[in-house]
Amino acid sequence: MKRQRHGGFLIAKIHQIAGRIFGKKLRNAGIDLNPAQGRIIFVLWHTDRIPISELAQKTSLGKSTLTSMIDRLEASGYVTRIPCSEDRREILIERTDKDKAFEKIYTRLSGDMTRLFYHGFSNKEISQFEDCLVRIYENLAGYEAQSGSR
């Protein structure tokens, strides 16, 4: 009898429960962001003043979803939109002082989540698992690119 595979289902469930736990940790620390908004902020910590199109690609969020999230982040004072000096049609997303002030707290909470994820795993197991996740991501991204399903 062939074993039924349910990795995608488990990943979805892990995503949901991790989002709830991380959201609660953020609220307890006084940070009014949801985990999806945190993904945007995380990208900006590595590349500030980024065009929306590049931010969409790096976060794997659709432009309409990203735009509404940026609206909320801007209203909350975490980011601002600025015109690009090289191309007036392009809008850049930039971090604010409010965002910079909470980066250390958010980073600490992210570390707490990583420790929770990998509790009881050896370094070798973590590396193997993350290698598998990269392969799954590449499979899905390759399919999406070929099928134009985005």
Task: Tell me the average pLDDT across 7-24.
Answer: 93
pTM score: 0.71
Residue 149 pLDDT grade (very low, low, confident, very high; cuts 50, 70, 90): low
What does the alpha-carbon distance between residue 126 and residue 133 come to, in Å, rounded to a whole number? Answer: 10
pLDDT(3) > 90: no
In contact, 50 and 70? CB cutoff 8 Å: no
Claim to verify: residue 77 and residue 107 sit in the same structural domain: yes
Claim to verify: residue 44 and residue 100 sit in the same structural domain: yes
In contact, 52 and 82? CB cutoff 8 Å: no
Claim to verify: residue 62 and residue 22 sit in the same structural domain: yes
In this prediction, residue 150 carries a pLDDT of: 53
CATH number of the domain encompassing residue 86: 1.10.10.10
Q: How many domains does the chain have?
A: 2
What are the pLDDT digits (tens) for 76-100?
999 999 998 888 888 999 999 988 8
Q: Quote the domain boundaries for residue 35.
A: 9-117
Which amino acid, one-letter code, is at 137? Y
What secondary structure, in 3-state letters, does 20-38 show? HHHHHHHHHCCCCCCHHHH
Claim to verify: residue 105 and residue 141 sit in the same structural domain: no
Closest CA to 5 of 127, 136, 146, 130: 136
pLDDT(144) > 60: yes
What is the chain's mean pLDDT, rounded?
Answer: 90
Phi/psi of residue 95, nearest 5 degrees: -70, 155
